[in-house]
Amino acid sequence: MFKRLQAWIWTRLADWLEIEPAQPDAQPSDFERLRFEVKPCDVVLVEGRSRISGIIKTITVSHWTHAALYIGRLHDIEDPRTRELIEQHWQGDPGEQLVIEALLGEGTIIAPLSRYRGYHLRICRPAGISRRDAFGVIQHAAERLGLNYDVRQVFDLARFMFPWSILPRRWRSSLFVHNAGAPTHNVCSSMIARAFHSVHYPVLPLMVHDNDGSVRLYQRNFKLFTPKDFDTSPYFEIIKYPLFAFDELAVYRNLPWDAEGAVCEDIHDCFDTVIDGRLVEPLRGLLSEDEVLAQSISLLDDMAPKTSSS
């Protein structure tokens, strides 16, 4: 009876925490470009809008509240066993772009990337990871499908990261308890960090200098990872797709082209119309060659660095 009541309370709490306000009209990310460029094993960071997202923003002091592992489409999964695991949790379109993620109220699931259309997104790409290890990360994450979301870990993480606490931060905390065997609960960042740890790919390792001058790396406790750690890691390339991409605004269109559309053979032979392949109506008032040379020298003088006299 008590367990059923506890489950009912957790379900109601999860539903309340997952409520989102209306989607804003302005979309900060170019989702179509992102979905075209994303690659399997990329980590997709999400700025959520739900109540739980607001709590995570406060805890982590970061806009990023969720992380999902992009795995591609079903036909991108080469390993038959991993593909079978994914098919057990995804009965939708096999051509859909998919992510593995851990969500409050849903657990560790397969979801379409398209569910994050309209959100602020960022891609964190593991730099230099081998093809074999990239699929090893995906396989490790797929083996966690079906696990419940670890709400206790979120609250313990909040207690650990706050600068003050009534109780000692490690006292009765799930963050520092080592359980033998496979985990039974997940949160998004911990699940992804552990998947990268499984192939010895660094996210934010601890570094120790030995007495002989060599360096030794240690894996961090995967339960302490938050979404922003993938953004902070020097081992992940940060890829942004803003709605207005400066590299696509064609800055050459701002060059000072003649507004009348004149066509020139040289500086003394310009015409404003082309009829039957012949240039007609020569333009008047163009600068002479000496005037052009004089203006060019003056412009170069203005651009030259000035030296102060002592």
Write the pLDDT tens digit of every residue in 111-170: 999 999 989 999 999 999 999 999 999 999 999 998 876 555 555 545 544 544 444 544
Helix, strand, or coil (residue 6): helix
pLDDT value of position 299:
55
Give the Cβ contact number of residue 151 at 10 Å: 17
Residue 275: pLDDT over 50: no
Q: What is the pLDDT of residues 168-207, one digit of tens each?
A: 544 444 433 444 344 444 567 889 999 999 999 999 998 8
For residue range 55-111, list pLDDT tens digits in order: 778 777 788 989 999 999 999 998 999 999 999 999 999 999 999 998 877 889 999
- Please name the residue that has the structure tokens 């119309």: 273
Which residue in 217, 40, 22 sits closest to 123, CA to CA? 40
Q: With CA atoms as reference, report the closest residue to 160 among 231, 223, 219, 233.
A: 223
What is each CA distance from 121 to 33, 188, 242, 278, 289, in whole angstroms? 11, 15, 9, 55, 55
Q: In the structure, how many helices (H) and strands (E) does the chain have?
A: 9, 13
Q: Which residues contact 157 (CB under 8 A, 6 or more apart)?
A: 59, 175, 223, 224, 226
**Tokens matching residue 7:** 């489950």
In whole angstroms, give the CA distance from residue 17 to residue 149: 13
CATH of domain 2-248: 3.90.1720.10
Q: What angle do CA 170, 104, 203 make, to 5 degrees?
A: 60
Domain ranges in the chain? Answer: 2-248, 256-301
Per the listing, tokens 């080469």 go with 78
Tokens standing for 265?
Answer: 């053979």
Does residue 176 contact residue 135 with C-beta atoms inside 8 Å? no
Distance (Å, rounded) from C-alpha 168 to C-alpha 159? Answer: 9
pLDDT reading at 253 higher than 50: yes
* Rounded Cα–Cα distance for residues 20 and 18 (Å): 6
What was the pLDDT predicted at 182? 43
44 contacts 99 by C-beta, under 8 angstroms: yes
What pLDDT, on a 0 to 100 scale, did the predictor assign at position 220?
Answer: 86
